[in-house]
Amino acid sequence: MPALRIEGYVIVSADGMLANADGVMPDELKFEGDKKFFTAALDRADLIVHGRNSYEDQPNSPLRTRIIVTRRIGAVAPDPSNPKATLWNPAGAAFEAACDVAGVRSGTVAIIGGPSVFGMFMDRYDTFWLSQAPRVRLPGGEPCFPGVPERSPQEVLAAHGLKAGDAQILDPADGVSVTPWRRAA
């Protein structure tokens, strides 16, 4: 069994977007129930991975060990501005090398975006937690994964060997739910 368990987290609009046409995650895509779910998951994770613009901005953020994906360095290096962060350029080093520098060799890794970072791990997720806001549309927005909107986010996950489990309602008034997409054993 691999030492690292890889989980993905995103909330998407009905049209499969994670941000609006300005590249910003708008308030209309932020919901209390989903925020609680996401916060609890990140509090449990041993490591968080995200692109330079996808920090989660929560009270516990400074406590979390993280890898920040960037082309500003050649391979892997500690982040001079954050003792809990490691900078990683996937063109220069394997993910495991970045985990080593981050000091994480086992446990749960939470991948939290953006789209290109989600795409990098498509064949490695044990579970991808897809939150959906069915009443929000973000025309011209930023698609959540490479390959969207030509295909739906669900079609992309299925094409990478993941299967949908039971959805859980997070924000009943807005119809927001989360569905675990798990890799078949």
Ligand X SMILES: NC(=O)c1ccc[n+]([C@@H]2O[C@H](COP(=O)([O-])OP(=O)(O)OC[C@H]3O[C@@H](n4cnc5c(N)ncnc54)[C@H](OP(=O)(O)O)[C@@H]3O)[C@@H](O)[C@H]2O)c1
CB 87 within 8 A of CB 77: yes
25 vs 104 by CB, closer to ligand X? 25
3 vs 134 by CB, closer to ligand X? 134
Among 52, 135, 137, 163, binds ligand X (CB under 6 A): 52
Q: In the chain, where do the E strands start and end?
A: 4-13, 17-19, 47-51, 66-69, 76-78, 85-88, 107-111, 127-133, 142-143, 162-164, 168-171, 176-183
Among 3, 14, 24, 167, binds ligand X (CB under 6 A): 24
Q: By CB under 6 A, which span of 19-27, 92-100, 150-158, 171-179 interacts with ligand X? A: 19-27
Residues 6+ apart with CB under 8 A from 146: 115, 116, 118, 119, 156
- Rounded to a whole number, what is the distance in angstroms from the first to the last CA of the chain? 11
Does residue number 71 form part of the binding site for ligand X (CB under 6 A)? yes
SS3 96: helix
What letter represents residue 93's amino acid? Answer: A
Residue 92 phi/psi, 5° resolution?
-110, -15
31 vs 185 by CB, closer to ligand X? 31
Does residue number 90 form part of the binding site for ligand X (CB under 6 A)? yes
| Residue closest to ligand X (Cβ) | 51
Q: x-or-dash pattern for ligand X, window 108-147, by CB under 6 A?
A: ----xxxxxx------------------------x-----
Among 6, 19, 130, 178, binds ligand X (CB under 6 A): 19
Q: Where do runs of H (alpha helix) occur along the chain? A: 32-44, 95-102, 115-120, 153-159
Does residue number 11 form part of the binding site for ligand X (CB under 6 A)? yes
72 vs 173 by CB, closer to ligand X? 72
Best CA proximity match to 138, nearest among 24, 53, 37: 24
156 vs 184 by CB, closer to ligand X? 156
Q: Which residues in this chain contact ligand X in the complex, by CB under 6 A?
A: 10-11, 18-19, 23-25, 29, 50-54, 69-72, 89-90, 112-117, 142
